[in-house]
Structure 1
Amino acid sequence: MTSLQQQTDSNSWQEQAESYLLDGEYGRAAILYEQAIAAEPDVKSHYWHLGLMLLLQGKEEEATTTWLLAMVEGEPEQVELWTAELVEVLETEARRREELPDNSVAWLIRGHIREIQPTYINNLLILIELALTENRFTEEELKDWQVIELLQEQPVGSLDTEKLLQLLKRVLNYTPVLPSLVEFAAACVPHLQQHPNLLPVMVPGAVEIGYSMGQVQMGISLLEICRRVHNSDAEVLRHLAALYQNGIDYAKGIEVAKLCYELVETLPEKIFANHLRLRGWMSAGGYWEEALVAIEEQEAMVASLIEQEPIELPQQTVARLLTSAYFFPYFRDRARENRLIFNQLSHYCQRYYDFRNYHREQVERYYQNPNRTKPPEKGAPGKKLKIGYISYCMRSHSVGWLARWLLQHHDREKFEIYAYFVTYKYLADPLQDWYLSQVDYPRKLGSNNLDIAEQIYQDGIDILIDLDSLTMDVTCEVMALKPAPIQASWLGWDAAGMPTIDYFIADPYVLPEAAQDYYQEKIWRLPQTYIAVDGFEVGVPTWKRQDLDVPRDAVVYFSGQKGYKRHSETIRLQMKIIKEVPNSYFLIKGYADRESITSFFTQLAESEGVDTNRLRFLPPAPSEAMHRANLGIADVVLDTYPYNGATTTLETLWMGIPIVTRVGEQFAARNSYTMMMNVGVTEGIAWTDEEYVEWGIRLGKSPELREDIAWRLRQSRHSSPLWNAERFTRDMESAYRQMWLQYVDG
């Protein structure tokens, strides 16, 4: 009696082999299958299982040889049948491994299935899933396996749509972004276009890629795929309009924003869609008449909304309303009226985040935070305060470049620094890497406001500093939930006007004395300046006068701002200056639509009698350092109004170039003023339109005055509060300590 027969008599040898497999005794199982082959050489399944046992022992070549020898003499029809049997045996074990989970073995087995049956699409899709789980998926595999081509060949209805949709979601969220992602998504969509969750998966993925990952064109392509499936979906159009605008395809951005505005029906949706139209026209520049009509419509719609009792709205819609008043300061310098709109709209939205109506249990916990009960030890002078900075700008962004000095100089003996990276994605960005390494506790977070707020609460933050204000709806939502006992806004924009934000950090100049009358937040004025830097990196200049067809002895005026800040009345004032200064030229640079901005400036120049040959339109520089170096070509910089430069003004002053600025009432109209006061240069500060023109002409006609200002600006590097970030940091830390003590004393 053979050993195999003995096994059969006492217990099924197949069951024994299965038991060995489950116990990981692959060698003993292999012996049984070898005996089975000797007894029943024509039963092909014995070969399939023997090869599997060899494979699990790491004997891949022996396993492959075993399978091939079993098939070598078969007819094509037989080989096809045997191949299907072998794949079924291997797939059964692969599925068992995936359930354990034992992904490395599942990957090994499915890799051999791919070699045996390379066009088996379901196996390839599971291989991609495993590769994503193991963080080993690459572009090469997607191409080598010809997954996209195979998906395109599959009949619609032949694939498991739930599994395919989940795989698409994972690929969309995978980092780094695959170059062929758009092709992969396009190949998946025909199989998924009837699935109700296709857009809820595709749109957030496209948004993450387009915004957080900075892959604007890829985000656009993914949204255009969504648009082909559902051409009247407002959510798709909203994001598509914004990404086209970000990708400087201004015409498409405006076109899609108009379509969105025509499609939506409710007042809150109309307000945000109109915001997108404004964003398109303003970023392109030159669409001044259209923008004027739209801003009047925006004011009327916001006023109408505020008069209403809040209605039930989706959370996303509420968040968007917070940013819908963003453009008012670009059109007018009416601080009290603008602040009233911000405050009222923020109060309206806050009612949705109030703990009585919105995620009550979570927010109630925040208000019962021990920090808020103020135990005596919390007020002890030696308490090490936990300071949290929240922003999506802690990367290569104007806010990122400026805020870094504060974090660099913080006293870590007295302050514990946390950074909350909103919508974080790895960007291979040196400045983002710097922030991650600089803070004590970096938190890489997504876009879920509740998750971010909970992290802040769990960290026990004492003072939370918002760097985004109304430029980022997610940050506004987090601040509305009040996860920290003290909350303040600084640097990123004007104050948001939210009831849950305690302070807006300013200085003696950037807001007028009466500003507290119309600010929701308490204005906390630092003693000298609300911002300071230790300097800027400067590259090698690439602009030369002869290359721009500008005479060597010409007076060169310069203005470098985004299309948002190009107010028609300020441009008229600039043209009056150019007209009155002989041999002067005006260099205009910034992100905007080249054709529309050129037409805009040209028409205004002609209306003021200025020869348009004196205008030069320059493209953006490839880097910040090169941009600063190129500023050296200018004799005088003409600031924008009613929205001044901020980072651009700091850069101008650092490079020692005189600047003419028009001072107004609102925060946005006083940035350059506070910076000039803090470097000790008042020449060029204008309080009226007439003074703006007068200073522009005077500086243009007086090389001696320009040289004197340039010398003083260079000297200011040694003594000015604007260039002493360490002193500024001590002032900020003193403010934090006072805020905390006032809170404790209650």
Structure 2
Amino acid sequence: MNSEISPNALTQWQQQAQQHLIADNYEQAVNLYEQAIESQPNVISYYWYLGLILLLQGKEIEAQMTWMLPLADVEEENIQTYTQQLIQILQLEAERRENLEEFSLAWVIRQHIRELNNYDINNLLIIVQLSFKTDNFQEREFEDLGIIELLNTQKNINLNLKLLLQVLKNLFETSPLNTLSIDFIQSCLPYVINTPDFAEIFSAAVMKIGHTFAQPATAARLLELYLTQAPNNLKIILDVLRHLSLFYQNANNYSQGIEKAKLCLLLSTELADKLYATHLVLRGLLTAGGYWEEICLTSQQLAALRQEFIIAQPFVLNEAKTLSLLTPSFAIPHLQDSPDNFRKTHNQLAKICQNNLRAINHQVFERYFQSIINHRQTAVYNKKLKIGYVSYALKRHSVGWLARWLFQHHNRDKFEIYTYLINYNPLDDFAQEWYVNKADIANKLGITSLEVSEKIYADKIDILVDLDSITLDISCAVMALKPAPIQVTWLGWDASGIPAIDYFIADPYVLPDSAQDYYTEKILRLPQTYIAVDGFEVGIPTLRRNELDIPSNAVVYLSAQRGYKRHPETTRWQMKIIKEVPNSYFLIKGDAEEEAIKQFFYKIAAEEGVECSRLRFLSQDSSEAVHRANLTIADIVLDTFPYNGATTTLETLWMGIPLVTRVGQQFAARNSYTMMMNAGITEGIAWTDEEYVEWGVRLGNDEALRQQVVLKLKASRQTAPLWNGKQFTREMEKAYEQMWQRYIEEK
């Protein structure tokens, strides 16, 4: 190349070099720039482009040396100017590569921009964003890149808020969030907390972290950080406190959960807010276990608020407040067995809830309603029925363990099975994927009721089965809008009382004959049992009597339930049994506040004259399979009342262990009864408080009777309805066909 180049020739040469660069013809581009430098060594931009091309070739050391070469002769006051020119060239190329979705290459270029200017916060954020795009993100980047320090210390920082929000959004999608990630989020809050989009992004993220990813402690920590910066808005503060209370309770931090609930109640002014806050206080107390006097007082306050709300019947509520009306009902059956009184109030609240939800979503409901009218007019008898199962619990959850045999044995010639997995977690367990694989159509959904409803509506489901009842407000909202012509509640809890639900699945035992008097749903009783399983996976036991300082010849009683099922009267019966059976010990297991539950048991034991040395408190097991194996350390299991075991009862019977249960009137007080009847066992079924104690003492003192029950339970595996999932499935399918036939005959 000649030493002197005409302007036209220079333009043509630069265009040619740029074309080679864009076409990734790096060797040709390098040759052109080397010739240009030889011809005009004082044009520094040639070195910048030559170094860039060497970098793109993967020759990072050569690139850096090329950039450093001309700077050696530049006066110090001009270095910053020339460096900025290099940064601009690298910036343009990085942006071009990002547009081409060549993210790894863009990441390399931006790392060199960082070396030239490590205070460019936006470049550093883009580096993190590129790490997300290439699946190479590590939380230590926030520290290594110095981003947290810059956000915390720099004033008048030129920050791209849109970019920062996008980084936060991507970060919220990762699991788990660790210390540095949370430190980064904290450093971002002053910049983004008042931006229009942040509240929505943050709220969705916290719900996903706390519920979908099952990291309630992390979600609580994020909400605590948010509170320190949150605007002074009562509505926002109350919403944060509600979720904080739930997350703390779910993380077994009961004292904080109760404290936040009480603060929420103190700040609440509207009736609906007071009702839900009181429920949160009661939920925390029950889950912690042991706070019985305060539990009784709070339950009375809750009952009064429920009645006040029914009288007032406020109709202008948003969806969140409407959905909070039914969840307080979950606590009441743990405290008393009075289903006629309970359901009268609950059904009234359920009706108010449904009316509000339909008013809020008026157009959606009208569309569903008209669709059902059209559906009924064209319905025919002999068709393949579309059965939809909606639940958040089709995973490693009691419902997930128990419902699977129905899916396993469904007749696919007669029924097409759809699942609607609320709050689907792609990182969840094998059980959830089992349900995905067992369905003809599996819908992996979020936590928005309209999203779930619209999918059910679009799929034209014939019979929709809710497995959640009031344990999930989203499911209540879906059922209230009635996206399917026939709606059923099964398994997950007692009936929800929502008028839009047509049937509640029961059996001859789990509800008394009088139950239809106070149920809004039509009770459809299966001929034998409302639940059956083919069995359970059992692991290797990890409990040994000698490790618990229990003699090998002792009589061991066990109660394995969460804190909210611990009622003082039932505990008193259990202590009477221990007192009457020589050389007996009582093992107590289940999530609760450790010290509170111990003091609860110690107090009642002392009142009944039982030495506290005969009580043992067990920690939770590593898995469900190990828990079942460890049940065999017990000679007898003592059930809770007025809220029996359900999955725990099935596991006890499957492991061949005698059970003592007290039968009541409500669904929750008759689960163990129906399961024992369907396992062919009557020994241990008590109809009075006195019988409960008598059975417990008799089974403890009579080893021959215990062995007789054990043998009957082992034999029942081959004969009993409780262990015949296929037969149960045929009975459920027959029930679906009966529902369909009635539906057609009513048109």
Q: What letter corresponds to residue 367 of structure 1 in structure 2?
A: F
In the alignment, the residues of structure 2 paired with residue 74 and residue 276 of structure 1 have an alpha-carbon distance, to the nearest angstrom, of 69
In the TM superposition, what are the counterparts of 1:707-726 in structure 2 within 5 Å? Answer: 707-726=707-726
Matched, 1:379 2:383: no
Fraction of identical pairs, as percent: 52
Give the 3-state SS of the residue equivalent to 2:171 in structure 1. Answer: helix
Distance 1:306 1:414 in 2: 44
Letter of the structure 2 residue corresponding to residue 277 of structure 1? V
Q: Report the secondary structure of 1:261's partner residue.
A: helix
Q: Secondary structure at the match of 1:556?
A: strand
Structure-1 residue corresponding to 2:249: 245
Which sections of structure 2, spanning at least 5 residues, go unmatched? none
Tell me if the contact between 2:337 and 2:666 (Cα under 8 Å) persists in the aligned partners.
Answer: yes
- Go from structure 1 to structure 2 and tell me whether the alpha carbon gap of 1:472 and 1:75 turns closer, same or farther (over 3 Å shift): farther
Q: What secondary structure does 1:501 align onto? A: coil
CA pair 189-554 structure 1, distance change in 2 beyond 3 A: same
Tell me how far apart the structure 1 counterparts of residues 204 and 657 of structure 2 sit (CA, whole Å).
45
Between 1:424-433 and 1:442-451, the stretch displaced more is 424-433
Residue identity opposite 1:581 in structure 2: V
Partner of 1:362: 364
Secondary structure in structure 2 of the residue aligned to 1:368:
helix
Q: Which residue in 1 is equivalent to 2:396?
A: 396
Deviates more, 1:477-486 or 1:46-55: 46-55
Q: Give 1:142-181 correspondences, 5 Å limit.
A: 142-155=142-155, 157-175=157-175, 177=177, 180-181=180-181
User: 1:319 maps to what in 2?
Assistant: 323
CA distance in 2 between partners of 1:46 and 1:258 (Å):
69
Q: CA deviation at 1:71?
A: 3.0
Give per-residue Cα distances to partners, 1:446-467, cap 9 Å, x unaligned: 1111112122222232222211
Distance 1:78 1:416 in 2: 75
- Residue deviations 1:394-431, cap 9 Å, x none? 22111111112211222223322222221122335222
Equivalents in 2 of 1:45, 1:341: separation in Å? Answer: 80
Q: Is the 8 A contact 2:318 2:360 kept in 1?
A: no
328, 332, 348: which one aligns with 1:344: 348
Change (3 A) 1:370 1:485: closer
Taking the TM superposition and a 5 Å limit, the aligned residue runs for 1:386-425 are 386-425=386-425
Deviates more, 1:221-230 or 1:712-721: 221-230
**Contact persistence 1:238–1:260 (CA under 8 A):** yes
Q: CA deviation at 1:8?
A: 2.4
What is the rounded CA distance, in whole Å, between the counterparts of 2:281 and 2:121 in structure 1? 44
Alignment of 1:54-73 (within 5 A): 63-73=63-73
Structure 2 counterparts to residues 125-524 of structure 1, below 5 A: 125-139=125-139, 141-155=141-155, 157-175=157-175, 177=177, 180-195=180-195, 198-230=198-230, 233-354=237-358, 357-369=359-371, 372-374=374-376, 376=378, 378-381=379-382, 383-524=383-524
Contact 2:3–2:40 under 8 Å retained in 1:
no
Q: CA deviation at 1:265?
A: 1.6
Q: 1:72 to 1:525 in 2, by over 3 A?
A: farther
What is the SS of the residue equivalent to 1:324?
Answer: helix
1:290 Cα deviation (Å)? 0.5
The match for 2:527 is 527
- Check conservation: 1:399, 1:491, Cα contact below 8 A: yes
CA 359–703 in structure 1, closer or farther in 2 if over 3 Å, else same: same
Q: Distance in 2 between matches of 1:590 and 1:93?
A: 59
| Contact 1:379–1:740, Cα closer than 8 Å, also in 2 | no
Shift of 1:286: 0.4
1:83 aligns with 2:83: yes
1:597 CA displacement: 0.9
22-31 vs 43-52, which moves further: 22-31
Secondary structure in 1 aligned to 2:625? helix
In the alignment, the residues of structure 1 paired with residue 743 and residue 7 of structure 2 have an alpha-carbon distance, to the nearest angstrom, of 81
Residues 468 and 492, structure 1, Cα contact 8 Å, conserved in 2: yes
For structure 1, which runs of at least 5 residues remain unmatched after alignment?
Answer: none
* Bigger mean CA deviation after superposition, 300-309 or 187-196: 187-196
Q: Tell me the TM-score normalized by structure 1.
A: 0.92
Q: In the alignment, residue 359 of structure 1 is paired with which amino acid?
A: N
Once the 2 structures are TM-superposed, how far is the Cα of residue 348 of structure 1 from its aligned partner?
Answer: 0.8
The equivalences for 1:610-649 within 5 A come to 610-649=610-649
Structure 1 residue 595 displacement after superposition: 0.9
The 1:619/1:175 distance shift into structure 2, 3 A limit, reads closer
- With normalisation by structure 2, the TM-score equals 0.92
Task: Figure out how many residues of one structure are paired with residues of the other and give that number.
Answer: 742
Q: Retained in 1: the 8 A contact 2:287–2:563?
A: yes
Instruction: Confirm or deny: 8 A CA contact 1:504 1:522 kept in the other structure.
Output: yes
CA change 1:704–1:268 in 2 (3 A) is same
Aligned residues of 1:4 and 1:35 also touching (Cα < 8 A): no
Counterparts of 2:508 and 2:444 in 1: how far apart (Å)? 35
Change (3 A) 1:28 1:455: farther
Is 1:113 aligned to 2:113, yes or no? yes
2:582 counterpart SS class: coil
Asked if the contact 1:353/1:481 (under 8 Å) is kept, the reply is yes
Offset at 1:360? 3.0
Question: Aligned in 2, Cα 1:97/1:461: closer, same or farther, shift over 3 Å?
Answer: farther
Distance 1:79 1:454 in 2: 62
Contact 1:423 1:445 in 2 (8 A): yes
Letter in 2 for 1:85: Q
Aligned-residue CA RMSD (Å): 2.8
Q: 1:24 to 1:556 in 2, by over 3 A?
A: closer
- What secondary structure is seen at the aligned counterpart in 2 of 1:345? helix
Per-residue deviation at 1:342?
A: 2.1
CA distance in 2, matches of 1:349, 1:419: 25
**In 2, Cα distance between equivalents of 1:511 and 1:28:** 85
1:672 aligns with 2:680: no
Which stretch shows the higher mean deviation, 706-715 or 209-218?
A: 209-218
Shift of the 105–385 alpha-carbon distance from structure 1 to 2, 3 Å rule, reads farther
**Contact 1:586-1:616 at 8 Å conserved across structures:** yes
1:111 deviation in Å? 3.9
